[in-house]
Amino acid sequence: MNPDDEFFLRIPLGDGANWLIEWLKANVSWLFDAFSWLMSLLIDGLTDTLLFLPALLMVLLFAVLALVFRSWRFGIATAVFFLFALAIDQWEPMMQTMAQVLVATFFAIIIAVPVGILAATNSTVSAFVRPVLDFMQTMPAFVYLIPAVTFFSIGVVPGIFSTIIFALPPGVRMTELGIRQVDSETVEAGESFGATPGQILRGIQLPLAVPTIMAGVNQVIMLSLSMAVIAGMVGADGSGKEVVQAINTLNLPQGVEAGVGVVLLAVYLDRLTAALGNPASYKGSLIAIAQKSMAQRATAGHT
């Protein structure tokens, strides 16, 4: 058979996807309009907030957050990072990108965490979700821009839409993993005290899974940041737009400065969220009760 000849069976997968998108546009356009309005409102509001105060005051605020949640060394490094961003004239694009990343991360997390909890507590949901997540993670990032632009035209909204979808999988996976990794003896100790499944989830499993869940949040933020840069191709403001303009005009200085701005923002968000993944002790929770029960059983066993 000549390799140039078409295969005898042609499945019109692309045509089917196009029909589905056109059907959605025709029948649920109100949903896309509402999403577009909400995203524009949130992103514009957050961007204006980040740019409202003087840049030096915002640098101080970011440094204080780094100091409180991580260390004084990271606080100093944060101040140096953002002052450097100011010096290379990347402050406004960085704040625009930060607003997009924070909004996309928020919506990705409020979807991912409940789905991860369901997958951890229900094997059927887990079996259904895993191949869907595999598909989402292996799909090239640029492909998500096609339906996004079809639904929302160009601008920041299609960028946020594609970013949320692209960043979802690690949030779901890490939430499920964190809950499944909770020690079964700790859960059994909570059950022995008469705790309901809901109390065990809220008081034992979720608190113990916080480091793993926060690792997932960290990955969601990093994927959101990478996709927010790609979203510059469809007109989203921020560092991504700067990079795209630099590519189109072969402007090496602009590309380097925009790229450095993205790196500085990525380092700050990565280190800050990593610090948030180290929760304080949960005194008075069911964890303490469960651990006390385990200690008592171990003591009784020795005696």
**Alpha helix segments (H runs only) across 122-155:** 123-138, 145-152
Angle at 141 between CA 111 and CA 112, to 5 degrees: 10
Under the banding of pLDDT at 50, 70 and 90, the label for residue 82 is: very high
Residue 281, pLDDT > 60, answer: no
* pLDDT tens-digit readout, 217-240: 888 988 888 887 788 888 788 888
User: 65 versus 202: which is more confidently predicted?
Assistant: 65
How far is CA 153 from each of CA 33, 159, 160, 227, rounded to the nearest angstrom?
11, 10, 12, 17
Residue 144, pLDDT > 60, answer: yes
Residue 107, pLDDT > 90, answer: yes
User: 140 versus 38: which is more confidently predicted?
Assistant: 38
Angle at 166 between CA 233 and CA 13, to 5 degrees: 85
Domain spans in the chain, listed from the N-terminal domain onward: 101-302
Interatomic CA distance for residues 160 and 36, integer angstroms:
9
Task: Identify the H or E element spanning 143.
Answer: none
- The pLDDT, as a whole number, for residue 3 is 55
Interatomic CA distance for residues 63 and 47, integer angstroms:
19
Residue 279, pLDDT > 60, answer: no
User: 187 versus 67: which is more confidently predicted?
Assistant: 67
Alpha carbon of residue 165 to chain centroid: 9
Question: Contact 238/93 with Cβ under 8 angstroms?
Answer: yes
Question: Contact 160/104 with Cβ under 8 angstroms?
Answer: yes
- The pLDDT, as a whole number, for residue 228 is 75
Decide if domain 101-302 falls under CATH 3.60.110.10. no
Looking at residue 280, what DSSP letter applies?
P
Residue 256, pLDDT > 50, answer: yes
Residue 284, pLDDT > 70, answer: no
Give the global pTM: 0.81
* pLDDT tens-digit readout, 238-247: 888 888 888 8
User: 160 versus 287: which is more confidently predicted?
Assistant: 160
Residue 282, pLDDT > 80, answer: no
* pLDDT tens-digit readout, 8-64: 677 777 788 788 888 888 788 888 888 889 988 999 899 999 999 899 999 999 999
Nearest Cα residue to 166 out of 262, 243, 101: 101
Under the banding of pLDDT at 50, 70 and 90, the label for residue 283 is: very low
Looking at residue 234, what DSSP letter applies?
G
- The pLDDT, as a whole number, for residue 76 is 92
Q: What percent of the chain has pLDDT over 90?
A: 20
Question: Contact 246/258 with Cβ under 8 angstroms?
Answer: yes
User: 286 versus 91: which is more confidently predicted?
Assistant: 91
